[in-house]
A and B are shown apart, each in its own frame.
Chain A
Amino acid sequence: MNAPLAVLSLIVLLFGGWGIGFLLFPHEKSLSAVAVRAWLLGAVVVTITLGLLGTIFSGTALLAVVAAATVIPGFVVLRKILKKSNYGITWPWPRGFLEWALCVVILCECVVLIRFAWTTALGWDGLMVWEIKARIASGNGWRLPMDYFSDPTRSWSHPEYPLMLPLLETWVYMWIGKSDQSFTRVIFPLFYFAALLLLYSGAATVSGKRWVGLLTASLLFFIPFLVTGEFNVFTGYADFPLAVIYLAAVVSFIQYTCDPIDSRALLFGIYAGALPWMKREGALLWFCVVFVAGVELFRRRKIRLALFTALPGLIMIAAWKIVLVSVNATPGNDFLPVTIANVTNNVGRIGTILRAVVYVLSSTTDWSILWAVLPISLLLMIVSGKGTLSLQLAGIIFMPLLLYSGIYILSNWNSYEAHLDSSLPRLISQLSLVALLTFGIAMPVSR
C-alpha cells in the first residue's frame, strides 16, 4: 500500500503545481514547460505551505490542510478548462528519424535510471543532513520540533540548512504514514526528468531545432558523476535538485531573452527565489543568476521587472534568516567569519584550491568531457553570433565557480584539503546542468 500512497503524494503535488503554473503563466502551453512548472512550483508550494502550516497544525490535520491548499489551484484550473475547453497543451510529437531515435535513446536511459533509483541507497549527507529532518518530523506530528534546531548534540546534521528537500521527503512520509527511507527515492527521478525537459526546451528554444534539444537531453545520462557517481542524483543529496532549479531559472531567463514576455521574467524570479530554499549555496547561485539577469533587464530599461525578479529570492533569504534567529538555531561552523584577517591569514591556500578545481574539472571519469567542451562551446556561440548569450552563460557558470572556490579560503575544518575533497565536486555538480545546456546551445545548426 505504501508505493501507491507515495505515488499519490506526488500526483497531488504535481496537480497543485500544474494549477498554480497555469494561473500564473497561462500563455506557456508547451508540454515541457507545463511539466517542469508542475513539479518545481508544486514542490516549492507544498514545502512552504507545510513549513508555515506546520506551526499551527500537526498530524492528519496538517496533511489535510496542506493537501487542500495544494489541490485548490488545480481544481480552479480544471473547472476553467472544462468550462471553456481552450487548454491546448502543445504536444511535441517527434518528427523524422533523428527525433524518434533520440526519443528512444532518452527513453532507454530513463528505464536504466529508474532501475538505478530503486537500488541506490541514500548517501551520508542524504541521510545525516536531509532525510534525518523528515524522520524527526515524522515522529513529531509531521513537523520539525523547535528543540531540534538548537540541539547541540545534533549540530552535525546542520539544522541551519534550508528545508525544501526535507519537507518534500516529509510530504511523502506523511502520505505513507511513516518514515521509510525506500520511499524517499521516488522524489529524485522527478528532478532528473525535470532536468531532461529543461535541457530539451532550453537548447531547442535557442537553436530552433528540436533534435538539438533532444540530443542535449540525451547527453545528461553520460555524466557519470550525476548518474552513477558516489553523490549521484538518487543518493538524496540536495546538489542535483539545486542544479535543476538553477537550470530552470537559467532556461526561463534564456526564453525571456529570446521572446521577452514579462511573465517569463517573473517565472525566472520564482525559480531563482527557490534556490536559497533548497540549499545554503542556493543564495550564492541566486545572487549570480539574478545579477546576470538584472544587467540584461537594466539594458532593456525594465528596471521594475528587474526588481520584481529579485524579490522572491530576497524574501526567501530574509525569511529563512528570521526563522533561524527565532528558533535559536545552532550556527554552522564549517567556515570562518568573513573578515580581512581571516582572508589574509589563509590566502596561502589559493594554490591548493586552484589545483583541486582543475583536478576535479579535468576528471573525465566523473564528467566525461563536459568541462573541456565548455570553453569551446562558449567560443562557438560567439562565432555564430550569440556573443551576448555566451557572455551571460559564462557569467552564470564561472561566477559561482569562482565564489565556490574562494569559500575554501575560509574553511574552518582541521584540514581544508579534506573539506575540498568532500564538497568541491558536489558544488561543481550544481553548475554542470547549465554547462551541458551551453554545450547544446552552441551546437551549430543550419537555419
Chain B
Amino acid sequence: MLLSCGLHSPKEGGAAEIREVRGGCDFLWDCPPSKGCQTFLRVSLRAPKMKTEPNLRHKSDRGHILPRLLAAIMVAAFVVCGVRGLRVARSRRTEGSGTLNSSDRYLLEALHVNQGGEKVMASISDLPPLEPLAIIAPDDNIYGPLLLDVIGSVTWPHPIYLVQVGNGDVRKTLDVLRNDHFAAGLFYDLAPPVLNPADRRIGLLTVVPISK
C-alpha cells in the first residue's frame, strides 16, 4: 500500500490538516465553537508513514525514467542558458543614487550635467506654477522629444511644450512665447537671443524667464 501525507487538506466546517512530519504524518483537526463544538478542540494524531513496497516502486520507477531524464536535461539546459543570458544582460544594467537619480541618467545623457533633475526644478521654482514652459531645441536634434518627457516629468504643474526651430527662428520664437504668456523658454543646445543675468544655465540647457 502506498501512503503519503497530503500537503494541505483543510475541510470546511472546522479545519483539518494533514502534514508530513519527521517519522510520519500529523493529522490536525481544529473544531472551533462557531462550528458547533462546545469548546475549541485540537486533535493531533501521528501515524507512521508506510514504506513503499520495493517491487511496486521498481516497476513505477522504470516507467518514469525517460520523462525524468528529459526533465533533468531540461532543468540543466535551463540553468546553463539562463546563466549565459544573465551575463549578457548584466552589461545592460545601469546604476544611480539620489532623489531623482533615475531621471538624472537621461538628463546627464542630454544635458551633460549631473543631478540635472534637481537643478531644473530649482531653476523654475520661482516662476508662476500654472504658466507654461517651452523647450526650444534645434529641429534636427534627437534629444528634443526625450527632454520634453524627462523635463516634463519634473516640472509639474507647468504645462510644457517642445518647439523645434531652425537656425534663424530663435528670436521670433521667444517673441511668440512672450505673447502667449509663457513663464520661461528652456533653450537646449541653442544660444538665447539675448543673455541677461536672470538666465540660468544647466549644462546644455539655458532657462530664460520671460518678462511680461
Contact = CB atoms under 8 A, between A and B. Distances in A.
A110 interface: no
Given A127-B153, A369-B81, A90 B8 contact: yes
Contacts of B74: 369, 373, 376, 439
B19 interface: yes
Contact of A228 (B10, B92, B159): B92
Interface in A348-403: 364-370, 373, 376, 380, 383-384
Contacts of A119: 93, 95
Contacts of A334: none
A368 B81 CA distance: 5
Interface in B132-177: 132, 148-150, 152-154, 156-157, 159-161
B64 A444 contact: yes
Contact of B32 (A86, A222, A384): A86
A56 to B, nearest CB: 21
Contact of B86 (A126, A205, A222): A222
A230 B93 CA distance: 7
B85 A230 contact: no
Most buried by A among B42, B71, B103: B71
A335 B61 CA distance: 54
A27 B15 contact: yes
Contact of B78 (A30, A368, A380): A368
A443 to B, nearest CB: 5
Contact of B61 (A90, A236, A364, A446): A446
B161 A153 contact: yes
A120 B95 contact: yes
B98 A182 contact: yes
A410 interface: no
Contacts of B7: 204-205, 208, 210
Given A131-B102, A369-B77, A373-B78, A121 B94 contact: yes
A121 B101 contact: yes
Contacts of B60: 446-447
Contacts of B4: 208, 447
B85 A364 contact: yes
A143 interface: no
Interface residues of B, number: 66
A230 B83 CA distance: 16
A90 B17 contact: yes
A370 B78 contact: yes
B7 to A, nearest CB: 6
Interface string A127-162: 110011001100100000101100111101100000
A132 B161 contact: no
B156 A369 contact: no
A383 B63 CA distance: 11
B163 to A, nearest CB: 12
Given A30-B8, A120-B93, A222 B78 contact: yes
B149 A228 contact: no
Nearest to B80: A368
Contacts of A299: none
A205 B8 CA distance: 8
A141 to B, nearest CB: 13
Interface in A40-92: 84, 86, 88, 90
B93 A228 contact: yes
Interface in B4-45: 4, 6-10, 12, 15, 17, 19-20, 22, 28, 30, 32, 40, 42
B85 A446 contact: no
A153 B102 contact: no
A28 interface: yes
A95 B20 CA distance: 10
Interface in A226-267: 227-230, 232, 236, 259, 261-262
B127 interface: no
A122 interface: yes
Contact of B9 (A84, A88, A230, A259): A259
A27 B97 CA distance: 44
Given A181-B102, A227-B86, A84 B40 contact: yes
A424 to B, nearest CB: 17
B82 A222 contact: yes
Nearest to B117: A181
Most buried by A among B30, B92, B102: B102
B198 interface: no
A179 B57 contact: no
A376 B73 CA distance: 12
A12 interface: no
A116 interface: yes
B149 A156 contact: yes
B92 A229 contact: yes
Which 9 pairs of residues, A with B, have the shortest CB-CB distance? A222-B82, A224-B85, A122-B102, A368-B82, A444-B67, A228-B89, A121-B96, A368-B81, A224-B89
25 contacts: A27-B10, A27-B12, A28-B10, A29-B17, A84-B40, A120-B95, A121-B94, A121-B95, A127-B102, A128-B153, A154-B156, A156-B152, A181-B98, A181-B102, A182-B99, A208-B4, A219-B79, A224-B89, A229-B89, A364-B84, A368-B78, A376-B70, A380-B71, A439-B78, A447-B2
